[in-house]
Chains A and B, each alone.
Chain A
Amino acid sequence: MANSTSERLAEKTKAAQADPVSMMAVLAPAVGWLIPGAGHIIQKRWIRGGLLFVSITTLFVLGLAMQGRIYKANGGDILEILGFIGDVGAGGLYIVTLAADWGQGAIAFATADYGTKFMIVAGLLNFIAVADAYHIAIGKKQ
C-alpha cells in the first residue's frame, strides 16, 4: 500500500517536472517575443499562434494609429521607465516603430492616451504569450 502510494507520488512528480533546458525552450520564447504568436506557431500551435499574432499586433497598430506615444529606454521618471518596459514587450513591433520614428505623439487628446496604453498593453500581453510559449516548450502545457 505504501509502495503504491509512493510510486504514484513519484510518477506525479516526474510528470510535473519538465525539462527546462532544450533548444525549443530557448527558441520559442525568443521568437515569440520578436514576432507575437510565433513562439506558438513554431511549436505547431497554429490557431493559437495566429490568434495571438492578430490580437497583439492589432492592439499595437491601433495604438499607433490613435497617435499613441512610444516610450524609449532613456526615460527619466518611473512612469516612462514602466512605459518602456511595457512597450518593449512587443518585440519586433517596438523595434520597427522606433526605427521608423513613429509613435512620437504628444498625447494631446484622449484618443492618443488610449493609443499609448494600447501599445503598452500589447507589449505586456506579448510577455504573457512568451511565457505560455515557454510552458508549451517545456511540456508544462499542451
Chain B
Amino acid sequence: MTITLNHFSAALVFAFFASIVFGITHRETTREMVRYGAYCFAMFLGGVLVAGWAMWVLRR
C-alpha cells in the first residue's frame, strides 16, 4: 500500500501529530496541553507558509 501526499498535506499531518505529542509532554494540565498543542500546530504551519513564501521570493 502506497500513500502519496502532496507537500502541504505532509506538512499538515506532521504538524498535527507532532503538536499532539508536544502538547502532552511539555505541559501539566489538560487545558495547558491543549493550548500548547494548538500553539505548536500554528507555529509549525506558520513556519511552513513563511518558509514557502521566503523560498518563492528567493527564487524570483
Interface centre among A58, A67, A111 (most CB of B within 10 A): A111
B51 at the interface (CB under 8 A from A): no
Provide the main secondary structure of the chain B interface.
helix
**Interchain CB contact (< 8 A) of A128 among B14, B25, B28:** B25
The reply on A97 being an interface residue by CB < 8 A is no
Residues of A within 8 A of B (CB): 48, 51-52, 55-56, 58-59, 62, 65-67, 110-111, 114, 118, 121, 125, 128-129, 131-132, 141-142
Asked whether any CB of chain A lies closer than 8 Å to the CB of B58, the reply is: no
Interface majority SS (helix, strand, loop, mixed), chain A: helix
Query: B1-30 vs A: 1/0 string, CB under 8 Å?
Result: 111110100100110011011101100100
In the complex, which residue of chain A has the Cβ closest to the Cβ of B33? A48
Min C-beta distance of A97 to chain B, whole Å: 14
Task: Count contacts between A and B, CB distance < 8 Å.
Answer: 55
24 interchain pairs (CB within 8 A)?
A48-B24, A51-B20, A51-B24, A52-B20, A52-B21, A55-B17, A55-B21, A56-B17, A59-B17, A62-B3, A65-B1, A65-B3, A66-B4, A66-B5, A111-B3, A111-B4, A111-B10, A118-B10, A125-B18, A128-B22, A129-B21, A131-B25, A132-B24, A141-B28
- Cβ-neighbour of A114 out of B1, B5, B17 (below 8 A): B5
Residues of B bordering A, CB below 8 Å:
1-5, 7, 10, 13-14, 17-18, 20-22, 24-25, 28
Among B21, B24, B28, max chain A CB count under 10 A is at B21
Instruction: Knowing A65-B1, A128-B25, A132-B24, say if A121 contacts B10 (CB, 8 Å).
Output: no
**Distance of A62 Cα from B2 Cα, bound (Å):** 9
Residues of A near B5 (CB, < 8 A) are 62, 66, 111, 114
For A128, the chain B residues whose CB sits under 8 A away are: 21-22, 25
Known: A128-B25, A129-B25. A62 touches B20 (CB 8 A): no
In the complex, what residues of A have CB within 8 A of residue B22's CB?
128
